[in-house]
Chain A
Amino acid sequence: MNHEAFGLSANLFAFLDWHGFFFLLFAGVACVAAVMVVLSDNVVRMALHLVLSLGATAGLFFLAGAEFVGAMQLMIYVGGTLVLLVFGVMLTAQTQLVALRTPAGDRVIAGILAAAILAVLLQAAFSVESWQKPGQGVAAAPRATPLGMALVGVRVDQVAEEKLGQPKNGYLLPFEIVSVHLLVVLVGAAYLARAKRRQVPRPVEIVASTDSLKPRPSGVASATLVSGGPK
């Protein structure tokens, strides 16, 4: 496979350079779908376009050989976040088709912001020296193992380079902090979503209080009524 990502100019067959073709395809889909997210009125349509955009980004990751990141993108953003988003929209939707109308003023502000960020990003992207040359072909075979090892504190890339004098404690501390943070979030979510305990007296107390207030015409019936009541 020819890995010149932008080899479209050379000749006709360069047009069938699949790497470049898929790069342009995925990049185009990601951009167009992202614009459609902004332009559409319907929340579920927006979600669909977001799926397309994020899925195309995952495709770009796969194309770049970052299979782990690509699969992560699919799993977390497309599979998890968006399904929850659509799920939430469907649960809370009052009408059948939820329409969102953005005021014109908001559009202008958003447009200025987006243009500013785009300008910064473009400037940054074109100022990186090594990105101005054509692609050098696929680097080493992509592996997820060094990534995982680095997360638990062993920088295998540095072990290989024999940089024994330098610290190579990897990313264990950030990893632990993030996992504890996630645990706190989970516990918090469970706390917020738990079934609220009602402040009701126990059945025994009710029976006792009713006993003291009024005489029971038929003791059995009222007792069952009361004890069945407050549950």
Chain B
Amino acid sequence: MSDTAAAAWKPMNRGQMAERAARDIPEGWCVNLGIGMPTMIADHIPLEREVIVHSENGVLGMGPAPKPEEINPWLINAGKQLVTMRPGGSYSHHADSFAMIRGGHIDLCVLGAFQVAENGDIANWSTSENDSAPAVGGAMDLAAGAKNLWVLMEHTTKSGEAKLVRRCTYPLTAPGAVKRVYTNLAVLDVTPTGFAVVDMVPGMTLADLQKVTDAPLRAAN
């Protein structure tokens, strides 16, 4: 952000972003949390709020990372990290696990992204049409199949380029799929008329946010 005026606002850190998204997940939902920052959301859902966490490698009802004495080397998540199982959890094979996703049984998926467009397009798997060997994993299944798709990402790239754009320039993961975006600066809904800003970090104005956003913004009603 090259704006020289001393900012009256401070971006959220990764933990705060995960916590902000976690706040909006209602009890009873079954959620799939993508690799990276979205995985951290699980740590911010209070235990008394029953949310079922799904990992696409056949783990439903996933719990946090194990204490040393709880380690089961056979139990990993989609990010290949050791995890635990909560009471009520179950295993399935890959086709059934993806049937949960593709059959519309997952209430929410939260993914990271390179770009989100104002029409809900998401690009999160490849940064070029000529990518030598892009890795798609389960991102396209999740983006097309989950009932709700949220994105958790930094508001801009490290070099300050906008990630909330009019049209994605990177190859799409799915068209028109994103419903909500959580960034380190704001929460935005994707609406039929583009991005609507739900809230921003304290001290930030809509004009401040627009400066670091390619797509036009409006305040949510």
Bound together: no
Chain A contacts to B: CB under 8 angstroms: none
Chain B contacts to A: CB under 8 angstroms: none
